[in-house]
Structure 1
Amino acid sequence: MVIMHSLVLLIATALLGAVGIQITDLRVPSVVRNNSGSAALLDCDYTLKPEELAAHSYAGLVVKWYFNSSPSPVYQWIPGQKPQDLGILKGKLDLKHRSSDHGATMYRALYIRNPTTELSGEYKCLVSTFDDEDFMTKKMVVFAPEKKLYVTWWKHDSGVVNITCIAQGVYPEPKMALYLGSKNKDSLKDVVVEVTKEHRCYDISATKVLDGTDVQATTMFVCELRIPEANYMVTRSIVYYPGISHPLSESGADDLHCRRIIVMMILLALVSLSPAVW
């Protein structure tokens, strides 16, 4: 039994000693906001063989980061040398950032200053020595919320009512839906959604044409814009008034505000014209 136990320990020790470099954790933010002024930290944590750590020279150790399917690295660090920002990350990294004070791991991470949408994609960390290598990949989405978002309506002379929502400058590709009512929203059917891409951003519109006889009462319409990859959602609403041909403004809240202002202006005009009455 003693011999067997010693043999098991010997085999286990040999196997553990045979384990080379190993990435233990790849920390990449899943979602960051475009041009927000905040940095994104992508960290690649790994371990080396005890004898490699004890040598203090870390001969053959190289840390590389790759972006999407490019065969060329966007970052490289060899202990004893300065880290290099390359390709799409050139000039966008804080090369002085240290992940640790250890000579074998201090410049392993990417510290991206103010990431923008072109940096949205797959990041692969590859760590290698003369004897072994390991890699791990994760995705980071850099999303851009809408630059503009509005919903409006107008009534044609034929009585047909057109409900349209438009969003501009969104990334990545968004989704859009129109709903009837603000509470217990009912999704409108047969909505025509169009998406166009320009300069890495998307514009999207959703249009629904209704027969005027189907909306004879004051009705609220809600537009919902979503960016699924970023878990982002925002809404705009507008109130339809059957007695007029187009809204006074683009949103229900603004519409009500404008109506209140008009009423106040009328009252002030009446006061100034007929002071004796008051």
Structure 2
Amino acid sequence: MMAADTIHKMIIFGFIFPFYAIDSLKILHSSIPQMIDATNLSSSTAITLDCSYSYDSGDIKLVIRWFHNDSPEPVYQWIPESNIRYVSELIRPYFDHNFTINNDNYSKYRALRLNLLQPQRLSQIQLLSGNYTCVISSIANQDSRQIQLIIYVPPRLFEFHFIELSANHIALECLIENVYPEPQMLLLFSKQNHHSNYLELLSSSINITQNENCLNWNNKMTDDSCQSLLYNASIQHSIDSILTAGTIYECRIKLRGTYYVRKKRIKIIFPTNYDDDRMKSTNLIRMSNGDNNNNRLSLLFLHFKLLLLIIIIVIL
């Protein structure tokens, strides 16, 4: 009578051999999250989304698929045995059909290589943002890994200034226009001699709206109908009647899911008492310092009862 272990080996070899290597198909490495500035693309800008995997002879009917966000249909599929590839409409304008990750017949076309040429509108390439899931499967096994790609748009306009809400009421206002993804905004302050410790102005509230228009690559509005993904946002905070010398106010913006952070600061040089009568006849000047990261110095002269208030706006 044949030994039990021998029978077991024969059954595996003769009938379900593909399951012999049930742990062989495995994703080893994947691309790190990628963040791309949509306004700083060139003809040479390209990204590679890759999942490297191990496999052996038991992994027959190998299929490599990539999915975008929650879509049930793959944006890319490759079957090595037949060398058939499918590329969806979403990535087709950017997909590099000639790119190979290596010379192995069962992994050379596994990666997505996207050449991010500038389309007519920002919204076209923003649609590429999201989570990409690579799924490697065979009859015996399957493994998957998710990679995040964010194509962000920095603010076209970024302003931080004082505004007059009424005849005897002023406030700090920070506003940004045409950003993606959805922004986060904070108003903070630091008192004199405590400039390393910034505290949030908790009574501030942010107002976020989605832009109804689309931008082309020159940051101009386009009349063509399109799906705008850009956001505008503003935040305000009422200021008490006394502005203390040495206090620094800061507006800090972040773009969700990215490392993008920008700041603007206002420093109070001289203390002052708010003068109701004077302020009724005084127009506060809105400060605009462009949309770059160079430090600039702007002076805003406001008429007060006792002292001249000098506000220095510093862009970090």
The bucket for the TM-score relative to the shorter chain is: 0.7 to 0.9
Amino-acid identity (%) = 22
2:253 equivalent in structure 1: 225
Pair 1:154–1:124, CA change in 2 (3 A):
closer
Which structure 1 residue ranges, 4+ long, deviate > 6 Å from structure 2?
none
Note the C-alpha offset of 1:64.
1.2
Pair 1:155–1:103, CA change in 2 (3 A):
same
1:68 equivalent in structure 2: 69
SS where residue 297 of structure 2 aligns? helix
Contact 1:99 1:106 in 2 (8 A): yes
Note the C-alpha offset of 1:205.
0.6
2:199 equivalent to 1:186: yes
Pair 1:249–1:133, CA change in 2 (3 A):
closer
1:142 equivalent in structure 2: 151
Contact 2:27 2:144 in 1 (8 A): no
CA–CA distance in 2 between the matches of 1:34 and 1:72?
Answer: 27
TM-score, normalized by length of structure 2? 0.66
Note the C-alpha offset of 1:121.
1.6
Contact 1:84 1:95 in 2 (8 A): no
Note the C-alpha offset of 1:206.
0.7
Note the C-alpha offset of 1:152.
1.5
Q: What aligned pairs does 1:1-278 form with structure 2 within 5 A after superposition?
A: 17-19=20-22, 22-35=25-38, 36-37=40-41, 38-50=45-57, 60-79=61-80, 80-81=82-83, 83-114=85-116, 116-155=125-164, 158-181=167-190, 183=195, 184-198=197-211, 199-211=228-240, 213-215=241-243, 217=245, 220-239=248-267, 245-247=283-285, 249-250=287-288, 253-256=296-299
SS where residue 74 of structure 2 aligns? coil
Pair 1:239–1:155, CA change in 2 (3 A):
farther
* Aligned residue type for 1:214: I
User: When the two structures are aligned, how many residues end up with a matched partner?
Assistant: 244
Pair 1:23–1:117, CA change in 2 (3 A):
farther
* Aligned residue type for 2:65: K
Larger deviation, residues 241-250 vs 79-88: 241-250
Note the C-alpha offset of 1:239.
4.6
Note the C-alpha offset of 1:222.
1.6
Unaligned runs of 5+ in 1: 1-5, 53-58, 260-278
Note the C-alpha offset of 1:15.
11
CA–CA distance in 1 between the matches of 2:23 and 2:244?
Answer: 74
CA–CA distance in 2 between the matches of 1:43 and 1:90?
Answer: 17
Q: Which has the higher helix share?
A: 1
CA–CA distance in 2 between the matches of 1:45 and 1:207?
Answer: 49
CA–CA distance in 1 between the matches of 2:143 and 2:88?
Answer: 21
SS where residue 257 of structure 2 aligns? helix
Note the C-alpha offset of 1:175.
1.0
Contact 2:18 2:58 in 1 (8 A): no
1:265 equivalent in structure 2: none
Contact 1:22 1:134 in 2 (8 A): yes
Contact 2:130 2:150 in 1 (8 A): yes
Note the C-alpha offset of 1:238.
3.2
Contact 1:94 1:113 in 2 (8 A): yes
CA–CA distance in 1 between the matches of 2:134 and 2:254?
Answer: 31
RMSD across aligned positions (CA)? 3.4
TM-score, normalized by length of structure 1? 0.74
Note the C-alpha offset of 1:16.
9.5
Contact 1:174 1:227 in 2 (8 A): yes
* Aligned residue type for 2:35: V
1:263 equivalent in structure 2: none
Contact 1:19 1:49 in 2 (8 A): no
